[in-house]
Structure 1
């Protein structure tokens, strides 16, 4: 499933794609995030595309100087995915103010919060799908009118060491390491993997088709183009069989990949390509690899 030099080849879950049985397999979902929001909208809400998976809601805002993003009063944490194109911003909470000026992950504790924006560019927020105000805004809410039975429900991991606080994890403090799969951070409810920028298309002879047994993968393209290759295993009901999918998306875009589809994403732009993978709850297999989760001291495993 993985090349021998791929860090994922040593995962406990690295098994070959296999047929499956049981509950129906959900369809993959694909979103051009620019098509879901008005780039010239007068308000940040109009410039925000909201989509969801079973356990997480993703809000992509084309932010402008002076925007005030109200996150509401949340029962769980909020995470802000900050890319190289994102503007500087300030997070306001009951704990004070925190200014953010570089790419990485920002984790905001439960409760009321808002974000003041100091430039132009994309900001991506993650909230638990159990938050009603956000869940109901999702463009694809109907796809989750009923829970997908193959996706394990979210059970929050242990509370962070040191209690509630705004935590910032700049990418600049963590150099890329080919022995580690991307740069991974986790919270109680999410795992975010900043995959490295790549120059040019991926070698089509070195793809990595694989499956996940019980969790969705959200692949957020922030630069370039990707072809998402998805194969749905055949179950006994042939009327539910699907053709293989090879869906090309630019950026910003999001693919929601359900279990146990066989999938791999192929960088396709001649320039720079970058994906950020998001999971909810955090992945145990990644967490069990020493050194892979870069903020593991702050967020312990169950």
Structure 2
């Protein structure tokens, strides 16, 4: 059959998309609405964005960096914990203080990032990229020390106007094979990012009327660093395998309304208010 399930980017098996003069290596991949950049940075390495059109996430897994924007410089992150930073639109730079890994999560709004998008190969529909209202207090660098957020569950969900990430806390224990959680999403892609550890992404496409879109079940082993892009409608669950610490980060664009509407789930919801009544539509938000 010609159908296939979501794509995989195993950065440990491929050459980087770009190598900077300071030795920093960066790989890009994406979905329809989002782009993910993984960088193996050197000490004093820098990751620049010029005239970037919207906010983006920086995930610092146990590394310290300085965020440079029009408002000045801000030192963030630490070697013993994970940090998420929201960077405002405009010119910005992420400057590492030690060698390590840095992840950036973007919408596909910027023209130079669009070539890294992944187009659909089936007849599923992806919700259009849309925006929540402007953040409380306007655009600025926003820093979230994940160790200090105090979430009682494994999931730590944060959002911008147009992106949402679910940072799963690192684990050592393996989930029982009798307690996996297969599910599907009607109208949005999910970027499932392997930050630490080894996983199996289990995926299945329900049979529809179009036999050409049918696909065989998929059980893809992905080590870190890697990204799995999961298509709308495909049943999926992820299983940790191997030994040592495992950690996933899930990315969504536009933000998931089911998460945004769940009291207490989005940890920075007070900074990114919901749209006014009547502005919500299936799959996203109509900007008001």
TM-score, length basis structure 1: 0.84
Structure-1 separation of matches of 2:108 and 2:98: 28
Partner of 1:254: 227
Q: C-alpha distance in 1, partners of 2:124/2:164?
A: 21
3-state SS, counterpart of residue 147 of structure 2: helix
Give the corresponding residue for 2:90: 111
CA contact (8 A) 2:4 2:121 kept: no
1:145 offset after TM fit, Å? 8.6
Cα separation, 1, equivalents of 2:55 and 2:89 = 5
SS of the equivalent of 1:202 reads coil
Distance (Å, rounded) in 1 between the aligned partners of 2:122 and 2:217: 24
Unaligned runs of 5+ in 1: 1-23
Residue 96 in structure 1 maps to residue 72 in structure 2: yes
Q: Taking structure 1 as reference, are residues 238 and 300 closer, same or farther at Cα in structure 2, changes over 3 Å only? A: same
Q: Specify whether residues 131 and 228 from structure 1 end up closer, same or farther in structure 2 by C-alpha distance, changes over 3 A only.
A: same
- How far residue 284 of structure 1 moved from its aligned partner, in angstroms, is 0.7
Distance 1:36 1:186 in 2: 30
Alignment equivalent of 1:128, drawn from 87, 91, 107: 107
Q: Deviations over 1:265-284 (max 9, x none)?
A: 00112221111111111111
Given that residues 26 and 39 in structure 2 are in contact (C-alpha distance below 8 angstroms), is that contact kept between their aligned partners in structure 1?
A: yes
Distance 1:132-1:147 versus aligned 2 partners, 3 A rule? farther
How far apart, CA to CA, are the structure 2 residues paired with 1:271 and 1:193? 21
Structure-2 change in CA distance of 1:130 and 1:206 (3 Å): same
**1:1-302 to 2 correspondence within 5 Å?**
27-38=5-16, 41=19, 43=21, 47-84=25-62, 87-102=63-78, 103-136=82-115, 138=116, 141=117, 143-144=118-119, 150-178=125-153, 182-302=155-275
2:286 alignment counterpart: none
Give the Cα separation in 2 of the matches to 1:263 and 1:253: 17
Aligned residue-pair number: 271
**Could you say which residue in structure 2 is the equivalent of 1:6?**
none
SS state at 2:74 partner: strand
Report if the CA contact (8 A) 2:60-2:77 is conserved. Answer: no
Q: Any idea what SS the aligned residue of 1:229 has?
A: strand
Higher strand residue share: 2
TM-align CA RMSD: 2.3
TM-score (normalizing by structure 2): 0.87
**Residue 269 of structure 2: SS of its match in structure 1?**
coil
Structure 1 residue matching 2:180: 3-state secondary structure: coil
| Contact 2:35/2:106, CA 8 A, preserved across alignment | yes
Q: Provide the rounded CA distance (Å) in 2 between the counterparts of 1:145 and 1:243.
A: 17
Seen in structure 2, the aligned counterparts of structure 1 residues 26 and 163 have a Cα distance that, compared at 3 Å, is farther
Structure-2 change in CA distance of 1:278 and 1:25 (3 Å): farther
What is the rounded CA distance, in whole Å, between the counterparts of 2:123 and 2:212 in structure 1? 19
- Deviation, 1:59, is 0.6
